[in-house]
Amino acid sequence: MNCDTFLACLHPYVDGELGVSDALAADTHAAECPRCRSVATDERGFRQIFRDQPREPAPPELRRRIVVRIRRASLARALRPWLALPAVAAAAALLVVAVRPFVERPAPGVIAELVDKHIAFAQIERPAEFVSADRREVAEWFRQRAGLRVTIPDYSPAGIRLVGARIADVGEHRAAYVVYEKGHTLLSVFIAPAPREADASGTRVTFRGHTYATREQKGYRTVSWTEGGVVFGLVSMLDYQALLECADRLREERAAETRL
């Protein structure tokens, strides 16, 4: 290797990117040629400037934010395959009830009653009036029995099994219950006409951009919201996180049906 060829491969040499034989040849030349040796030393000196710069870490807040977003995306991904609904269930309107003035949160009286019904189902041998694990069958039952189009969310990816359905009288109205089971824990999704009067009780919780009312009653947790004159709610002994996930799922499935 001469000075020209040495200088031509100076950068890869200093960067340790030369092959073994070229690197040896360059070493040999540098040992023999003081000029080239000094050029290489300076080049290393410049590299050192960058190595000496502080290596600041990513802000902890950024890391936290990313981890949260990824875990959330991961959850959404885990559930997405079940989002697609059978075409039969695609018929437009979801629940045929008189549209009432928009009420942000359902009145405690109605919710309390809805929860009491759920507790009553949980005590009896057959919580569901109509027993079926088939969402289409359950939707069809509601349609024939009460003229209701009800979204039957699929919670099976979370190990929550559809048990069946029930219609109950709540105050002057009828409420639709979709009954699920997680192990031996019962979960009801109820849908009822929203009460006229606004409600001030319960704790407001925002989850993925939606506001819910949460309340605990006799050891049962409820997550509910009102949309277009209809109260949607979930009641169970499952924890709030699970109920909120299920509520979010129901919203998504309803939105998907509406789009179809």
Partner 1 sequence: MISEGASIRWGTRAGRSREFEEVALVHLDALYRSALRLTQNRAEAEDVVQETCLRAFRSFHRFNPGTNCRAWLFTILRNAFLNRVRGAGREVHEGDAAEGWDALVQRSAEHRPGGGSPEEEFFQTVLHGDVDRALKALPLTFREAVVLADLEGLSYKEIAEIIGRPVGTVMSRLSRGRRLLRRALGDFAREHGYVGEPE
Which among 9-17, 94-102, 140-148, 164-172 is the span making contact with partner 1, rule CB under 8 A? 9-17
Distance CA 93, CA 258 (A): 7
DSSP assignment of 129-153: SEE-S-HHHHHHHHHHHHS------
3, 24, 31, 73: residue in contact with partner 1 (rule CB under 8 A): 73
Q: How many residues bind partner 1 (CB under 8 A)?
A: 52
- Is the CB of 22 or the CB of 227 nearer to partner 1? 22
Burial class (CB in 10 A: 0-12, 13-18, 19+), 132: middle
Angle at 175 between CA 219 and CA 224, to 5 degrees: 50
Should residue 79 be labelled a site residue for partner 1 when binding is judged by CB under 8 A? yes
> What are the structure tokens assigned to 12, written together?
């890869």
Helix axes 34-51, 20-32, angle to 10 degrees: 120
Should residue 66 be labelled a site residue for partner 1 when binding is judged by CB under 8 A? yes
28, 41, 203, 258: residue in contact with partner 1 (rule CB under 8 A): 41
Should residue 56 be labelled a site residue for partner 1 when binding is judged by CB under 8 A? yes
Distance CA 244, CA 230 (A): 18
Within 10 angstroms of residue 234's Cβ, the number of other Cβ atoms is: 30
Interface of this chain with partner 1, residues 127 to 156, rule: CB under 8 A: none
Interface of this chain with partner 1, residues 186 to 225, rule: CB under 8 A: 186, 219
CA within 13 Å, CB half, 92: 2
- Is the CB of 164 or the CB of 195 nearer to partner 1? 164
Within 10 angstroms of residue 227's Cβ, the number of other Cβ atoms is: 15
**What dihedral angle (degrees, nearest 10) is formed by the CA atoms of 168, 259, 205, 170?**
-10
- Is the CB of 163 or the CB of 231 nearer to partner 1? 163
Q: Is 174 within 8 Å of 165 (Cβ atoms)?
A: no
- Is the CB of 132 or the CB of 156 nearer to partner 1? 156
- Is the CB of 51 or the CB of 259 nearer to partner 1? 51
> What are the structure tokens assigned to 30, written together?
């540098």
159, 172, 218, 259: residue in contact with partner 1 (rule CB under 8 A): 159
Cβ at position 55, least distance to partner 1 in Å: 7
- Is the CB of 185 or the CB of 201 nearer to partner 1? 185
Q: In what order do the strands lie in the sheet with 173-182?
A: 130-131, 161-170, 173-182, 185-193, 230-236, 220-227, 210-217, 203-207
- Amino acid, res. 98: A
Should residue 239 be labelled a site residue for partner 1 when binding is judged by CB under 8 A? yes
19, 46, 87, 144: residue in contact with partner 1 (rule CB under 8 A): 46
2, 32, 47, 64: residue in contact with partner 1 (rule CB under 8 A): 47
Residues that bind partner 1 (CB under 8 A): 11-12, 15, 17, 38, 41-42, 45-51, 53-59, 62-63, 65-67, 69-71, 73-75, 77-79, 122, 157-160, 182-186, 219, 237-239, 241-242, 245
